[in-house]
Amino acid sequence: MKKTVIFRIAAMLSVLALASGTAAYAAAPPDVAGKPYEGAVGALADRGIITGDVDGNFYPDSSLTRAQFCTIVVKAMKAPVATVEGSPTQAARTSGFPDMQGYGWADGYIAYAIEKGVVAGYPDGTFRPGSNVSMSELITMTLRAAGYSDAELGGVWPENYLAKAGDIGALEGITAPLPEYATKWMAAQLVWNALSLIEENNPPVVEPGADGETSSPQDPPSGDGLAYMSGKFDQYLQTFGGKYLALDVKVLTYGVKADYSSTMKLSEKSGDYIEETVYKYKNVETPAWYELKNDRITRIILPSDVGFSGFAYGVINGTLKMGDRTGGENDGFITLSAGRAITWQGASSLPSGSVPAAYGNGEVFELQLRNARVTNVGSCTTGAFNGRRFVELSTPGAFSLVESRTGDVVTIEGNVYSIRSNASVYSLGDDGQYSVSSVSNVRAGSLVRMYDVSDDDDDSTADIVVIKEE
């Protein structure tokens, strides 16, 4: 376990951009200027971890709620945006607490924090998202995000967490005695002090096959500890057959659906299995073998011929040839879709010439899928397949300059557009490769291509934004 924390000297950052729905700053919020915590607030705002009010102020001495701080700490953990906020084609996870009415904006963050052991609900089954977060809760959630646990610290709560926070310097800049309830600036300073530990404990998640390579599991499954059932993945990819999936559930494919039964024998050769990503199985109904730990499905074995059917939208980082289960070879697509790195295999029926000749230019593609196999590829310029809205809002085929941004509203070439709060945002590097970015990085001066992939007849709201790095 970590015993020390490396403190950061937070310099003034030239441009601060806040998460969608909030003001974007050219400097730190004016009401923290000259304060000892100005560096912490500015640095976290630049990373999109904290936000200001719509009037541009931070209100550092205000209290904050359990829902607000849960959102802050989960953003510091770099949780996948599509998991906690959803995407235009993927619903966010939900916490299941009965008292979340009016707090839908935080529900996915709370669900993530619960599953990661950062926070818990109350014995009566509620979360109380609107209650002010206490200083003890603030410190506890921060340290749990950094990898500390009740079992490791021992002792009695909250003294055990308060003592550890002091030991590692997480309370630097927060003068004793600590108040009963935390203020916004204290939350910012505490998270900034512990951010290096939080990031170390929450490395970026790399999806299987994200680089186009498929792999076999190191530990081949056996029948021991596995159960069989037919079930359906829900639209949130949070449950299968009514049982909750672990956030890091391991998905393996083996055999075909017709062979699945409660008496089938599973191979003990790791080479007979392929590791997949759960994000290919939204709303899919299938038989499966699964392993349950702590009431969560931690591993699930699925037929190789099932998967999501519908449409996926995203950018392409490369193409490759992939072997299929019949011994043939089909085209494959290395993509970022719904904010996640996913490699899709082309179906044997994929028309010749479907592989785009150019894809490192900010173009978003529509993939038509059947059982997680690509049957067609289209774009705004070549045509789409499903009749839904799929248009480029900014100048078609070219990057455009963002002249200004206020909250969710951007002005491009004199035209006003809005960016959906759960928009998928991708950054295009000089090497022609895309990476997942965030709404907070769409700023005045950015070069962007903006797309609408929703069927809501709103021709001014972007669901996908591609930013060109300079």
Residue bearing tokens 């310097």:
169
Please report, rounded to a whole number, the percentage of residues in the chain having pLDDT higher than 90. Answer: 65
Shared domain check, 316 and 238: no
Residue 107 resides in a domain: yes
Shared domain check, 272 and 168: no
Shared domain check, 395 and 375: no
Which is more confidently placed, 128 or 221?
128
Residue 63 has pLDDT above 80, yes or no: yes
Among 250, 279, 302, give the residue marking a domain's end: 302
Look up residue 116 and give its amino acid. K
What's the gap between Cα 241 and its chain centre? 23
Residue 119 resides in a domain: yes
| Beta strand ranges found along 383-414 (DSSP E) | 391-392, 400-406, 409-412
Shared domain check, 141 and 101: yes
- CATH number of the domain at 395, please: 2.40.50
Q: Quick one: tokens of 62?
A: 């205000």
pLDDT for the residue numbered 4 = 37
The rounded distance, in Å, linking the Cα atoms of 226 and 291 is 5
Residue 218 resides in a domain: no
Closest CA to 182 of 219, 227, 132: 132
Tell me the mean pLDDT in the region 462-470: 92
Shared domain check, 293 and 362: no
The rounded distance, in Å, linking the Cα atoms of 419 and 466 is 12
Residue 401 has pLDDT above 90, yes or no: yes
Q: Quick one: tokens of 169?
A: 């310097």
Among 251, 282, 302, give the residue marking a domain's end: 302
Give residue-wise pLDDT tens across range 298-307.
999 999 999 9
Tell me the mean pLDDT in the region 98-113: 95
Residue 16 has pLDDT above 50, yes or no: no
SS3 percent helix, strand, coil of the chain, rounded to 5, is 20, 30, 50
Q: Quick one: tokens of 260?
A: 């699945």
What's the gap between Cα 219 and its chain centre? 27
Among 354, 379, 404, give the residue marking a domain's end: 379
Shared domain check, 136 and 64: yes
Shared domain check, 458 and 365: no
Q: 272 in helix, strand or coil? A: helix
Look up residue 86 and give its amino acid. G
pLDDT for the residue numbered 183 = 96
Residue 53 has pLDDT above 60, yes or no: yes
Q: 278 in helix, strand or coil? A: helix
The rounded distance, in Å, linking the Cα atoms of 157 and 136 is 9
Look up residue 413 and give its amino acid. E
Residue 12 has pLDDT above 70, yes or no: no
Q: Confirm if 432 and 412 have CB atoms less than 8 A apart.
A: no
Shared domain check, 272 and 367: no
The rounded mean pLDDT for the chain is: 87
Bridge partners, 288 (sequence order): 229
DSSP 24-85: -BSSS-GGGTTSTTHHHHHHHHHTTSS---TTS---TTSB-BHHHHHHHHHHHTT--HHHHH
Residue 17 resides in a domain: no
The rounded distance, in Å, linking the Cα atoms of 28 and 13 is 8
- Among 215-219, 316-320, 463-467, the minimum mean pLDDT is found in 215-219
Shared domain check, 147 and 93: yes
Give residue-wise pLDDT tens across range 153-185.
999 999 999 999 999 999 999 988 999 999 999
Cβ-based neighbours of 380, under 8 Å, separated by 6 or more: 363, 364, 390, 391, 392, 396, 451
| Beta strand ranges found along 124-225 (DSSP E) | none
Shared domain check, 173 and 57: yes
**Cα dist. 432→68, 354, 443, 445 in Å?**
37, 20, 21, 20
Shared domain check, 326 and 421: no
pLDDT for the residue numbered 6 = 35
Shared domain check, 133 and 78: yes
Count of Cβ atoms closer than 10 Å to residue 9 Cβ? 6
Q: Are strands 391-392 and 310-323 parallel, antiparallel or unpaired?
A: unpaired
The rounded distance, in Å, linking the Cα atoms of 428 and 336 is 11
- Overall domain count for the chain: 4
Residue 217 resides in a domain: no
Residue 330 has pLDDT above 70, yes or no: yes
- Quote the domain boundaries for residue 422: 391-468
Residue 250 resides in a domain: yes
Residue 53 resides in a domain: yes
Residue 220 resides in a domain: no
Cβ-based neighbours of 279, under 8 Å, separated by 6 or more: 90, 207, 237, 337, 338, 340, 342
Count of Cβ atoms closer than 10 Å to residue 107 Cβ? 23
